[in-house]
Amino acid sequence: MAENDTFAGIGDADAMGAEDAPQAGVLSQYVKDLSFENPNAPAIYQQQTAPAIDVQFNIGSNRVGDDVYEVALKIEVRAQAGEQVAFIVDLTYAGLFALRNIPQEALDPFLLGEAPRILFPFARRVLADQVRDGGFPPLMLEPIDFAGIYMQQRAQQEGAIGFEEAGHA
């Protein structure tokens, strides 16, 4: 495979004007892990109460090759109708991203903010289809501001570090 094949779809560096211009591209997206549980079927379908939905998510990234990173968006959904669990869905949806000439300080904001934003619509569709195929109305999650959450967590971490340093002065 030629070097340029690795970065298919992210532009030719010569056409972009510089060999060292920052480049980012999606190489592939995939379901890494998917689990659907319907522990109280068929009784749950007789339930008249709309289920309460709890959604948790986590983002992870790791370098898997030269200039290639995997970003995994893990979404866990638990629906509870009264005392009964309606369904539980665990989805890990991932993507491979080619990043070339990205400054070190911009890596985490891209991998933990922008990349999950790119993956989310596809993960949301997989999740909605899975819930529908389990016999429930499709679950359409609201968009999530991953970049905003990243920035908020970063500010909290820096505040905690600043507080610790101030306490030791």
Encode the chain (169 residues) as per-residue pLDDT tens digits: 333 333 444 444 444 456 788 889 999 999 999 999 999 999 999 888 889 999 999 999 999 999 999 999 999 999 999 889 999 999 999 999 999 998 889 899 999 999 999 999 999 999 999 999 999 999 999 988 888 888 888 888 877 655 444 444 4
Q: Which of 61, 75, 52 is nearest to 126 (CA)?
A: 75
Tokens of 85: 């669990």
- List, in order, residues 6 or more apart from 11 with CB less than 8 Å away: 23, 25
Output the pTM of the full model.
0.78
DSSP per-residue codes, the chain: --HHHHTTTS--HHHHT-TTS-EEEEEEEEEEEEEEE-TTTTGGGG--SPPEEEEEEEEEEEEEETTEEEEEEEEEEEEEETTEEEEEEEEEEEEEEEEES--HHHHHHIIIIIHHHHHHHHHHHHHHHHHHHTTS----PPP--HHHHHHHHHHHHHHHHHHHHHHT-
